[in-house]
Homo-oligomer: A and B are copies of this chain.
Amino acid sequence: MTQTTVTPPPTTRVATGPGPVAATPSSSNLGRLLASCVDRPGIVSAITAFLHSRGANIVQYDQETTDPVGGRFFQRLVFHLPDLAERLPRFSAEFATEVGDRFDMTWRMRDVDVAPRVAVFVSRYDHCLLDLLWRWRRGDLPIDIVQVVSNHPDMAEAVAGFGVPYEHIPVTKATKPQAEQAQIDLLHGRVDLVVMARYMQILSGDLLDRIGAPVINIHHSFLPAFAGAGPYERAKQRGVKLIGATAHYATEDLDEGPIIEQDVIRVTHRSSAADLVRLGADIERTVLARAVKWHCEDRVMVNGRTTIVF
């Protein structure tokens, strides 16, 4: 059984950061439960009976079974519980005992008012990082950006303007293990999500195992694909009419993790290779922001190599 109860740290994060989090009243008393397990009769019944017995009302419920017979069960649930903030630790502990363990569930439960803490990794392309910071400041993302990490010093000033700590951790082939250790030391237990906003280094399987939070990555996508160097230049030579981007959970197998979101933008013969790069940046930041938002609204569950997005 895998269990994650996201509880606020001693001093609640609700008021931190320049972002929109404070706009949400701290008394909404809404919680979210994401859960999955091998399907069998009685799961929904058990979950809803538990909630009912505690006086929790179900506000929104999405459920999906991958196959009517022998499939896997996935569900997302928003519930209203009076005095949620105080009751959540006990409530979730009892859920673990009475429901989670019984069905061997993978699940997590969260107070909607507590914004997930996010670290952003970046190299030298600024479009994805700045777009996340900007949307966060505008109140469009239900997150708290607590740290930026970069293998270059270039963006320190831009990030400072948003009041977010910036850590420059250089990475060379020789120093990669130490650099990753520094990243783990900096972030483990302090963040709920890591976002690779055009971070041009491959994260090792060891780091992914030990960082203690899921990692979302973004990369360009084309029809057809152009693997290797200079993809936009080659897309231009091939005369593509669409360029796209894919956001996915990072795995050791680069660019092969479960896809969260994809989208494309239309280009024409008038678009130069430089235009494609610029339009590619636009679609990358749009798709990444959507994936981060959905993840932090607890809409995304991993199902093997794929995702369920409620």
Contacts and interface: CB of A to CB of B under 8 A. Distances in A.
A94 to B, nearest CB: 16
Interface in A216-261: 221-225, 237-242, 244, 246, 255, 258-261
A64 interface: yes
Contacts of A146: none
B58 A269 contact: no
Interface string A252-289: 00010011111110001110000000100000000000
17 contacts: A29-B68, A44-B61, A45-B45, A57-B68, A60-B65, A64-B270, A69-B80, A223-B223, A223-B262, A224-B246, A225-B225, A237-B305, A239-B258, A239-B306, A242-B263, A244-B264, A269-B309
Interface in A13-50: 29-30, 39-42, 44-45, 48-49
Chain copies in the assembled complex? 4
B63 A68 contact: no
A205 interface: no
Given A64-B270, A237-B305, A237-B306, 14 more contacts: A41-B55, A44-B44, A45-B52, A58-B65, A60-B63, A60-B65, A69-B80, A223-B246, A224-B246, A239-B258, A240-B259, A241-B309, A269-B303, A269-B306
A68 B80 contact: yes
